[in-house]
Amino acid sequence: MEKKRTYNVFKTILFVASFFLMSSISYSQESILKTIVIDAGHGGKDPGCHGASANEKTVCLSIALKLGKLIKAKYPEINVIYTRDKDVFIELDERANIANRNNADLFICIHANSASPSAYGAETYVLGLHRTESQQKVAERENSTIYLEDDQGEKYKDFDLTPDALIARQIQLSVFLDQSISFADKLQKEFKKIGRHDRGVKQAGFLVLYKTTMPSVLIETGFLTNPKEETFLADTSGQTKMANCMFTAFQNYKNELEGIQVIVEDNPVDSGINENQSFFEIDNDSGDVVFRVQIETSESKLSTTAEKFKGLDIFEYAQDNLYKYTVGAFINDYNSASAYKSVLRGEGFSSAFVVAFLNGERIDLEKAIKLVEK
């Protein structure tokens, strides 16, 4: 009885402390997200899981760098930190330490999954108790990285991931748990919009999430053991689509935290980069300005599925006896189009530039920006 009473008092104290901390966060009028840490899973001597040819460490790093570029291009004031920006091995606790030392406001850990060839889809984890054997296996696989560390995991030998310990840690970090779940939910919604199977928001005892002291998620982008998903995740266009989804979810999460009212749920183009909306889904007589990124001009007609377009969804238009090819559709949002231009240049489209359309006709870019500002 005494033990139970002590535990209840402990919960009450933590709840009260969390309430006051949450209050200070919720009512701040300043920009809340100042530092973001992006963690590309595995690396160096730790390849992670793999498919027929692709491995987890390579896929994770590519998506992580793309996401960081998108955030930095749209929000240059945000400090974007990578736990690794190349193929090196970083110990699990150091990944969390990087986030903690830099007082990160959000920790985004990117991984790929492994199971039977029939398993497919994306899922996002927050810290907590696993509810199924498969969730436990995912955590155990990702945590097994510790055995590749110099001391072969010795420093974790007394680390407590029992249900009681996880519950206590959840209570301790409850001020951040709701925010973690909110961001995770937004990620899954964006993955679903591009046709990825939604495996949901889940909980499990990941060491890297246990040791961070801010809202934190671990994203399993898909299964490299599924041939179709391996092809998608190993391809630059698939990686770009996943990074775009994460960026849009980040925008939505940031806007929600900071009380910025924007229409994002029913129109993914408004929320940022979306390669999947056809130009013909946009009302040409709406009076909206549509910004696109032009990547190619040709005297002869090209196939929109040509290899040079790297799997991107292409909109073609003709002007001055030339065929012109663009990607993206950003309604009244020049900044997102410009951010996407920077990403595309990094992907090899060195001459990418922003163009604008009004009522189906291309218009001068400066005029378009002024129209939007009005």
Domain assignment present for 7 = yes
Beta-bridge mates of residue 296? 325
Rg (C-alpha) for the chain, rounded Å, is 22
Q: Which of 98, 83, 124, 110 is nearest to 212 (CA)?
A: 98
Residues 248 and 132 in one domain: yes
Domain assignment present for 264 = no
Domain assignment present for 272 = no
The separation between CA 87 and the C-alpha centre of its own chain, rounded to angstroms, equals 20
Q: What is the pLDDT of residue 324?
A: 92
Residues 244 and 305 in one domain: no
Query: What is the β-pairing status of strands 35-40 and 79-82?
Result: parallel
Q: What is the pLDDT of residue 210?
A: 79
> Residue 356: which CATH number?
3.30.70.1070
Residues 103 and 251 in one domain: yes
Q: What is the pLDDT of residue 168?
A: 57
Sheet with 289-298, side-by-side order of all strands = 315-319, 322-331, 289-298, 353-358, 361-363
Q: What is the pLDDT of residue 14?
A: 41
Q: How many domains does the chain fold into?
A: 3
Domain assignment present for 265 = no
Q: What is the pLDDT of residue 70?
A: 94
Which residues are CB-neighbours of 214 under 8 A, at least 6 positions away?
99, 100, 103, 104, 105, 106, 107, 176
Domain assignment present for 271 = no
Q: What is the pLDDT of residue 31?
A: 66
The Cα 199–Cα 358 span in angstroms is 39
pLDDT in tens, the chain (374 residues): 444 443 443 444 344 344 334 433 433 345 689 999 999 998 998 898 889 999 999 999 999 999 999 999 999 999 999 999 999 998 878 888 999 999 999 999 999 998 888 899 999 998 865 444 544 554 454 555 545 566 555 555 555 555 555 555 555 555 678 888 899 999 999 999 999 999 998 887 777 787 888 899 999 999 999 999 999 999 999 999 999 999 999 999 998 888 775 544 333 333 333 333 333 334 444 578 888 999 999 889 999 888 888 888 888 999 888 899 998 888 888 888 888 888 888 888 888 999 999 888 899 998 988 888 87
Q: Which of 265, 237, 183, 212 is nearest to 81 (CA)?
A: 212
Residues 228 and 302 in one domain: no
Q: What are phi and psi of 362, to 5 degrees?
A: -70, 140
Q: Show which of 227, 257, 287 is a domain's final residue.
A: 257
**Residue pair 90/43 in contact by the 8 Å Cβ criterion:** yes
Residues 194 and 134 in one domain: yes
Q: Which domain holds residue 314?
A: 279-373
Residues 198 and 316 in one domain: no
Q: What is the pLDDT of residue 59?
A: 96
Q: Model pTM greater than 0.85?
A: no
Residues 175 and 68 in one domain: yes
Residues 212 and 359 in one domain: no
> Residue 100: which CATH number?
3.40.630.40
Domain assignment present for 193 = yes
**Residue pair 145/42 in contact by the 8 Å Cβ criterion:** yes
Domain assignment present for 99 = yes
* Encoded tokens for 139: 């955590």
Q: What is the pLDDT of residue 212?
A: 85
Residues 3 and 99 in one domain: no
Q: What is the pLDDT of residue 162?
A: 58
Domain assignment present for 315 = yes
Residues 66 and 199 in one domain: yes
Residues 308 and 180 in one domain: no
Residues 213 and 307 in one domain: no
Q: Is the dihedral of CA 310, 312, 316, 319 positive or negative?
A: negative
